[in-house]
Structure 1
Amino acid sequence: MKPPPSTSAAERQRLWHKLDLLCRLGLGLAPIAAEVCAVLRGLVGADAAALFWLDEQGLPAGFHHEDSPASVRNLFLNEFHLFTGPGETNILALARPEGPRVGRLLSPGASYFRSNSHNLLMRPNGHHYTLDLRVEVPSPTGPVTRAVAALFRTRSPVSGFSAAEASTLERASGSLQRAFLLQNSSWPGGAYGASGHVLLDGASLRPLSADSEALQLLRSAHVRGLGLYGAGAAMLPKDLLALLGLQPGENRILPVPQGLLDMRTSPMNAIAQQNPAPTATHLLLTLQLQRPYQIDMVRRIANMPLTSLQREIAMLAGLGHARAESLALTGVSNAALKKHLGTILDVVHASDWEDLGRSLRGKL
């Protein structure tokens, strides 16, 4: 494999700004994980990237990996205990506030190459060089690790990562922190995508059947215990609702890679031939993926021939801020805003501030 292509200064500046815009959306890290991985890979120059995020108690909550085979994903999700023993350099180990925040796997010890983490996860992925970053977020009791980012390269002729590249990845920590510090309390609007259904027994809550769309949504959610790549409906775990954090009759929005998974449970009458009791019910779990419009808006704005400040202004319009608010939020004068806005309107082909916002939200 050829070495990663070099990135121009202008492209690097665009990527840094795109990373910052994504992490300031208030969506958390999961919905923007795919875009963030692509940005980090481009900034440093790597063959693949992965993100692992943790909850407020420091426990693994989800992940996105760009090129991991289905068998490896299943193993990681279903047999996580294999990677938690002594000598295992797993996500929990990398999340501990010990040692440097970046580059702990640049020169791993001999025990690493004997571990399950290396032999069952890294090697099957073809990863021979790893650059890792611990993302810490301030809290009243001290810094708390909320994410681990990892970049990967294959064996020669591509070399390992340099100290300069480690420094570049560490610089991304500030933006990644904001993905946790600036989370909104309400979920945003966006386009709804695929929807699927799982039928559960009303008494035991055991899954009885599921359509192909539901299986795909559950696979891509990357919930621990739900490694379902290649599996059919018969392989759904008996405690599916518990794994999803649901109780009968509850609804929940779960941040997942690529968006938000809308999960709803509702009772339905049992099929008479299967259960003639008139009061018996089955439970229907409905799953639907929502793609927040802000993610696609960032991608679109980041590719526009605008300066960083002009992209900031465009984002404010797209997010629904009033024109007057943008003066305080960007710190520019009214005259400067008018000048920059003229350029933005020409690029987007909009007539005024309100039309700019509608165009950015609608042309996705």
Structure 2
Amino acid sequence: MNSISFRKSDRTRLGTLHRLRNLCCTQLPLLTIAPSIFDYLNFLIPHDAYGMALTYPNGEPYILYYKNLNPQSMRYVQENTELFLNLKTESHIRWLNCPKLPKVGNLLRPDDPYFHSLTYQMIVRQSGLHHTLDLRLERNHIPAGGITLYRRMSHPFQLQDHHLLEQAGVYIEYALNNQMEDGDDVIESDQALLIVNSQNDLVMMTDAAKDLLNLFPIHYEFWEPYKALPKSCYQVINELKYGQQIPKLSLTIPNGILTLRAEWLSSQNTTDTNIALYLKRSLPRSLIILKKLEALDLSPRECQVAFSLITGMNKSEILQKLSISPAVFKDCVKSVYQSLNVHSVSELITFASQWTTPKNNTFLS
């Protein structure tokens, strides 16, 4: 990954970019770390709303994640995806599919013909926004999606914002190209329940279940319009009805993994059979550790060294991965030990274990 080059006086911005780099090196799925990525981006480039689309090479989205955009507009986009993939009227689709064009730009702006596009009218203006800044994402030099930051009318993006997003994009693309969908330990977090009848009508939903379902980004392969629940919920329910024993489905969501599991609540021979759908959110252990370390009074480099030690890397592996000298490593370890009042790697790991102790909750056991 490229190094960062900013004025030495700009310590806060430099530190934020370093922390973004640390986050993007965890090999967690991009969608999992997306909320933290946008937290860092908001510090670097303040904005009022954002959106991230992960797409197939032809520009068709399979994930849509956004915040503070008009919900009715986004529902219309979800239901009419083909309208927003029109190469003749939607110049951003041409941009997303052309690696030769700059990766960062202002595609949605009033002085551009794109101002009259359906995307601008339906998303930007309907959300009370005006200015946008776009970043194209590529996976191994093949178009893979994009990120858009939005601002209200009185605060246009400046050239410096372009440079910052371009630098941040290097790290975000690294995360996209090096993510591992499986393999990270997860810690059980929130659990909830909803109930449907044999006709798939919603009978009961707890507030906790609503909160978990609101974490869903738009998974297009699991999304169905005009339904009370995401399509993934009905998929698990129908698998149970068609004979599969306790079907389960796990989906990557922002900040973690959501697992769905269906069970019969009563005998299948009764006329009032209901089905319970259990939802469980799990958080990646490595993400919890990284966020806890960043809350301490440690530099980004010290966080990175501590994180590497806690997650099982030895000294030689850390020196090679972080490209640091033994002296820098020694100074970082000393500072970490002093901050946490520990005296060895084993004590450091024991100290960190308190951050990832699962809740004593048997709701889904």
Change (3 A) 1:44 1:302: same
Q: Which amino acid aligns with 2:78?
A: L
Q: Equivalent of 2:177, from 161, 174, 181?
A: 181
| Mapped pair 1:353 → 2:354 | no
Match of 1:218 among 210, 213, 216: 213
Q: How many residues are matched? A: 338
CA 1:222–1:330 in 2, change beyond 3 Å: closer, same or farther?
A: closer
Displacement, 1:296? Answer: 3.4
Is residue 234 of structure 2 the alignment partner of residue 241 of structure 1?
yes
Query: Aligned partners of 2:27 and 2:188: how far apart in 1?
Result: 17
TM-score, normalised to structure 1, is: 0.79
Counterpart AA for 2:259: D
Structure 1 unmatched ranges of 5 or more: 1-7, 276-280
Q: Deviations over 1:177-216 (max 9, x none)?
A: 1212222332432242132334363xx7x45435133343
Letter in structure 1 aligned against 2:337: L
User: Map of 1:51-130 to 2, 5 A cutoff?
Assistant: 51-54=52-55, 59-85=60-86, 87-89=88-90, 92-97=93-98, 99-105=101-107, 107=109, 111-130=113-132
Of 113-122 and 216-225, more deviation after overlay is shown by 216-225
The offset of 1:333, in angstroms, is 4.8
Deviation by residue 1:74-119 (Cα, 9 ceiling, x = unmatched): 3333443453446553875552125321104165665433333122
Q: Does 1:161 align with 2:157?
A: yes
In structure 2, the CA distance between the partners of 1:220 and 1:330, relative to structure 1 (3 Å rule), is closer
Secondary structure of 1:291's aligned partner: strand
Does 2:194 align with 1:197? yes
Q: Which residue of 2 aligns with 1:256?
A: 253
C-alpha RMSD over aligned residues = 3.3
In structure 2, the CA distance between the partners of 1:113 and 1:145, relative to structure 1 (3 Å rule), is: same
* Alignment check: 8 A CA contact 1:15 1:39 kept: yes
Give the SS at the match of 2:160. Answer: helix
Indicate how the Cα distance of structure 1 residues 113 and 291 shifts in structure 2: closer, same or farther if over 3 A, else same: same
2:72 aligned partner, one-letter code: S
SS at match of 1:221: coil
Structure 2 counterpart of 1:5: none
Of 203, 217, 231 in structure 2, the residue corresponding to residue 209 of structure 1 is: 203
* Structure 2 SS opposite 1:32: helix
Quick check: 1:296 aligned with 2:288?
yes
SS in 2 for 1:235: coil
CA distance in 2, matches of 1:9, 1:55: 38
| Most deviating of 19-28 and 80-89 | 80-89
Distance 1:134 1:332, change over 3 A: closer
Q: Distance in 1 between matches of 2:195 and 2:58?
A: 30
Q: Is the Cα contact below 8 Å between 2:233 and 2:260 reproduced in 1?
A: no
Query: C-alpha deviations, 1:204-256, integer Å up to 9, x for none?
Result: 7x45435133343233212347589xx9xx734778535x8995444232111
* 2:259–2:279 Cα contact (<8 Å) kept: yes
Q: Which aligned pairs between 1:143-162 and structure 2 lie closer than 5 A?
A: 143-156=141-154, 158=155, 160-162=156-158
Of residues 244-253 and 124-133 in structure 1, the stretch that sits farther from structure 2 once superposed is 244-253
> Against the structure 1 CA distance between its residues 287 and 46, is the aligned structure 2 distance closer, same or farther, given a 3 Å change threshold?
same
- Residue 172 of structure 1 aligns to a residue whose secondary structure is helix
Check 1:346–1:200 CA distance in 2 against 1; reply closer, same or farther (3 A cut).
farther
Q: Distance in 2 between matches of 1:355 and 1:71?
A: 52
Question: Within 5 A, what are the aligned runs for 1:134-149?
Answer: 134-138=136-140, 143-149=141-147
What SS does structure 2 have at the residue aligned with 1:30?
helix
Aligned pair in 2 of structure 1 residues 72, 296: CA closer, same or farther (>3 Å)? Answer: farther
Check conservation: 1:41, 1:49, Cα contact below 8 A.
Answer: no
Matched residue, 1:306: 298
Matched residues in 2 for 1:150 and 1:20: separation? 19
Conserved? CA contact 1:74–1:227, under 8 Å: no
